[in-house]
Amino acid sequence: MSNIGKSLVGVASCALFLGACGPLPEGEELDGSVPGEAEVLDDSQSEEPRRVEAQTLAGDLGSAMGAPVATYPTSCTASNQWATTCRSGSSRDVSWVWRVPETATYSFSTRNSNFDTIMEIRNYKATNEVLKCNDDTGDLLTSGITLTLIKGTQLLIIVEGYGGECGNVHLNIVKR
Ligand SMILES: [Ca+2]
């Protein structure tokens, strides 16, 4: 089709879909996407921040324990703040702060979460210090970590998904 033919078709479409040919409202793009949403995160080169950003920190649990001690409706809307050190490395994550109530051995798990989780526990006061990372526990795709800890130690408990999975997070903390 010639150029003239194409522009004629264009005019015809404008007439048929009246109102669809005007200038786009400000801030709206042709494909309907929201600007900035398609940004690709590349954690491989950047240094991991040591501070905890509010949007990924689900809460400070104090020294609470329970099964679950906390839940998070969906990690699918969380941001990707941490690159965990076992398995898939980097997907959307949620994290909690927890203080060791007394020197003892504790079990942390994501049992009853509805997706394939990865859990990593770090020293909250020096978040580059990884205490332990776990992907699966036995036949379960959820994660479990057991640690003997000193009273008053503050932990950062990070839960993310294997291979980009996300969902409803259950966090369980029990004393052994
Ligand atoms: Ca897993």
Query: Residue 116 belongs to a domain with what CATH number?
Result: 2.60.120
Residue-level pLDDT at 38 = 40
Identify whether 133 is part of a domain: yes
- Ligand 1 centroid–CA 136 distance in Å is 4
The average confidence (pLDDT) of the chain is 79
pLDDT at 7: 43
Q: Which residue range forms the structural domain that includes residue 129?
A: 56-175
* Distance (Å) from CA 17 to ligand 1 centroid: 51
Res. 39 pLDDT band, cuts 50 70 90: very low
pLDDT attached to residue 32: 43
SS3 content of the chain, % helix, strand, coil (to 5): 10, 35, 55
Distance 120 CA to ligand 1 centre (A): 11
Is 34 a domain residue? no
Q: Is residue 132 part of a domain?
A: yes
Q: pLDDT grade, residue 122 (50/70/90)?
A: very high
Number of domains in the chain: 1
Q: How confident is the model at residue 55 (pLDDT cuts 50, 70, 90)?
A: low
Ligand 1 centroid distance, CA of 94 (Å): 15
Please give the share of the chain, as a percent, with pLDDT higher than 90: 60
| pTM > 0.75 | no
Planar angle of CA 73, 84, 75, nearest 5 degrees = 10
Question: Would residue 15 count as lying in a domain?
Answer: no
- Using one digit for the tens of pLDDT, what is the confidence trace for 124-160? 999 999 999 999 999 999 999 999 999 999 999 999 9
Distance, CA 138 to ligand 1 centroid (Å)?
Answer: 10
Tell how strand 117-123 and strand 154-161 pair up: antiparallel
Residue 39 lies in a domain: no
Predicted confidence at residue 84, as pLDDT, reads 92
Tell how far the Cα of 117 is from the centroid of ligand 1, in angstroms.
4
What are the DSSP calls for 55-115, one per residue?
TTEEEE-TT--EEEEEEES-GGGS------SSTT--S-EEEEEEE--SSEEEEEE-TT-SS
Mean pLDDT of 95-104: 97
Task: Report pLDDT for 117.
Answer: 96
Distance CA 59, CA 29 (A): 36
